[in-house]
Chain A
Amino acid sequence: MRTGSNYYRILGVPLDASPEEIRRAYHAAARQYHPDKNKDPHSQTQFLGIQEAYEVLSDSVKRAEYDAELPQFTQDPHVDLNVIYSRSKLYLVDEPQLVYVFVRLTCQAQQKDTEASPRFITLVADRSTSMQDERMDMVKSNIARLIKNLQPRDIISVVAFSDRAEVVIPPTTVMDIPQLQQKVSLIQTSGGTEIFQGLQQGISQLRTKRFRKANRHLFLLTDGHTYGDEGACFDLAEDAARDRIAIHTLGIGNDWNLPFLEKLSALSGGACVYVNSATILEEFLDRKVVDIGEIYARGVTVYLDTGRHVELQYAYRLSPDNGPLPVRGPMCLGDLSYNQSVEFIFEFKVDQLPRDEEVALLAEANLTLEIPASDKLARLVYKFERPYVENPQSEYPPRQVIEAMSLLTMYRMQEKAREEAQSGEIEKAVKRLQYLASHLLSQGKRELAHTVLKEVERLNRDKKYGDGGEKKIKFGTQALFLPSGAEDTLK
């Protein structure tokens, strides 16, 4: 990161600060760090930085030039960032150490009905032969239910695909519900599965110019694998994410491609759902319809610039939908709604501390979000940093961090077991799953523990997971993050 890029931060003023505010901030900062007052070298560098920042920001021409280099963003007073570290200080030692950072984004604004953007929902339904009968019936009745739950100002579109895609309902406001439901009921099953075809058609529906300002969400419902077009699908999803279109993937039954659908939804901050009963589909869609109507900011994205000798080892989104985040590149966190916070947790490994400074910079986070109500892009810049000491006092980690990591540890154990089983290390996988089962039992999650132990038996016998076994365990551990801690998802 260029050193000059945080002049506003150095002076501690907002991006839209008035010249008077800048002048006052400068005087306050300069007094504090003046070399006459402070002899230590750190203050001196600080003081120089303050001078440099003021020189640019106090000159309207230079400031305009400097601003032009910054992306066009405003700060948003309604978004609150709450950061909790696993400990108050790092240890000054010659070995690597871990530190966890829990972040919660909340919206402080109140929702006004007049401001709410309409929902624009596109359903992309797999109609390949394998979807025949029961599955297709479930999909159809759920689409009909979703249409009924929308409001007249909302927009719906439905695409069905096999090895090609057709538009069942073009983007339409939800006025004539029976007519829309009638169209859905006519979808027939036949053919193979080419997800790219459906996805492309679905996204192009959402790009309809007339409805550009709506909250655009795509739901992909499929029960199978797609072959050879995975990369092209990811490109589509990345492109959609840039336009703040969210893609949710719903895998029906046990045969769908888990890593593929999970990555596809993660690219745009969407959710990936394991649909092994009609209830799950129903509950998820019901919840989403509510959430999409209460969006304050869309496409919340975090860019992380780690400090020197610091590595982001793991990143996980805890809420509203939960799932792993990429440790490299932008992290899409989806939408921030009025009534729900967005929470995530980072695990940083610090290899070495910068002995020439007082604090260690873990990372600088650059958070962008789109505010539909004011039609603006907002940005938040935040530095994750910790002081360090030679003889740290023992302290208790904060509750939020422990609770999140306790659940995340179980999630990561099953991920590792899955990798181990895949690479043929059955013994290791078995051992890990046994540990997992005992943690689940000690937390009273008997049903999930039982599912895990059944898979242990299968692994021992068949050297692989049973039908849908790895999905049951994975989504079971993910369900623990939900407010209700609902285990029933596996019934």
Chain B
Amino acid sequence: MILCPNCHSREYLGTLFCSQCGAQLVSTGRLNPEDITTFVTGNAAYREAEPEIAAPVAMELESGVAIRLLDGSETVHVADRNEFTIGRVSEGQPILPDVDLSPFEAYSQGVSRLHVSVKIVNGVVFVTDLGSSNGTRINGQKLSSHVEYPLNPGDVMALGKLRLQIITR
């Protein structure tokens, strides 16, 4: 059993919202009530992302992870790794990103040298913005930097203006 911090009612393990007072009982990493409202009212971003969900599922993946660029519909395969960084390589850079997006006009699209880190735990993809200049968005929602966010299959991520999806096997 878990205890609702708000009204102290006892709830079953795994309950998401208190059955008595309606308080949210789980941390969602990024969803607070304001975000939920954004989803309900500003539905456009959510709807737009939808048709793209079907495609990656059908793809055959050679390695564990791939990055699919939505604008040129190219795919970058990442060797079996559970943690890597994405960015672009430029001269005199002390730390290089694991995945270099410079072949895809990363600079003009506003991708930072070290833009995001990606971590895969139990098949769930987590993304952290590494303090990029132009920010990272998931389905149009801006992420706070240095905070880990989970990705759902089919979510569209934008590094600056460069839109992509992370696909896992």
Interface residues of A (CB under 8 A from B): 80, 82, 84, 86-91, 93, 95-100, 106, 108, 349, 393-403, 405-407, 409-410, 412-413, 432, 435-436, 439, 442-445, 480, 483-485
Contact = CB atoms under 8 A, between A and B. Distances in A.
Given A393-B122, A398-B150, A405-B16, A485 B41 contact: yes
Contact of B36 (A98, A349, A394, A443): A443
Interface string B4-29: 00010000111111011110101111
B33 interface: yes
Q: Is the interface of A mostly helix, strand, loop or mixed?
A: mixed
Contacts of B19: 412
Contact of A442 (B17, B33, B124): B33
Contacts of A99: 14
5 contacts: A349-B12, A442-B33, A443-B37, A445-B37, A485-B40
Interface in B40-87: 40-41, 43, 47, 53-54
Contacts of A483: 43, 47
B22 A435 contact: yes
B127 to A, nearest CB: 12
Contacts of B123: 88
B22 A410 contact: yes
Q: Is the interface of B mostly helix, strand, loop or mixed?
A: loop
A396 B28 contact: yes
Contacts of B149: 396
B43 A484 contact: yes
Nearest to A401: B16
Nearest to A410: B22
Contacts of B28: 396-397, 399, 402
A406 B152 contact: no
A409 B21 CA distance: 9
B95 interface: no
Given A88-B124, A402-B31, A409 B17 contact: yes
Tell me which of B16, B37, B43 has the highest count of chain A C-beta atoms within 10 A of its own C-beta: B16
Contacts of A480: 40
A314 to B, nearest CB: 10
Interface in B133-169: 149-150, 152
Contacts of B7: 435
B12 A403 contact: no
Given A97-B14, A480-B40, A108 B54 contact: yes
Nearest to B33: A442
A395 B124 contact: yes
Interface in B82-108: none
Given A82-B53, A97-B13, A406 B36 contact: yes
A86 B14 contact: yes
A484 B41 contact: yes
Nearest to A106: B54
A95 B1 contact: yes
Q: Which 7 A-B pairs have the closest CB atoms?
A: A485-B40, A97-B13, A409-B17, A98-B14, A396-B29, A396-B150, A97-B14
Contacts of B53: 82
Contact of A400 (B12, B14, B37, B152): B152
Nearest to B51: A106
Nearest to B29: A396
Contacts of B14: 86-87, 90-91, 97-99
B131 to A, nearest CB: 21
A396 B40 CA distance: 20
Contacts of A443: 33-34, 36-37, 40
B141 to A, nearest CB: 10
Given A84-B152, A86-B16, A485-B41, A435 B36 contact: no
A399 B122 contact: no
Contacts of A485: 37, 40-41, 43
Nearest to A90: B14
Given A397-B26, A409-B22, A444 B150 contact: no
A407 B40 contact: yes
A420 to B, nearest CB: 12
Given A98-B14, A397-B16, A397-B28, A403 B152 contact: no
A430 to B, nearest CB: 13
B13 A91 contact: yes
Nearest to B6: A435
A288 to B, nearest CB: 20
B140 to A, nearest CB: 12
A444 B19 CA distance: 21
A313 B1 CA distance: 17
Nearest to A96: B12
A108 to B, nearest CB: 7
B54 A95 contact: no
A88 B36 contact: no
B155 to A, nearest CB: 8
A234 B57 CA distance: 42
A452 B35 CA distance: 23
Tell me which of B15, B149, B150 has the highest count of chain A C-beta atoms within 10 A of its own C-beta: B15
B107 to A, nearest CB: 31
Nearest to A88: B122
A490 to B, nearest CB: 16
A316 to B, nearest CB: 13
Contacts of A410: 22
A95 B13 contact: yes
A443 to B, nearest CB: 5
A439 B22 contact: yes
B33 to A, nearest CB: 5
A444 B37 contact: yes
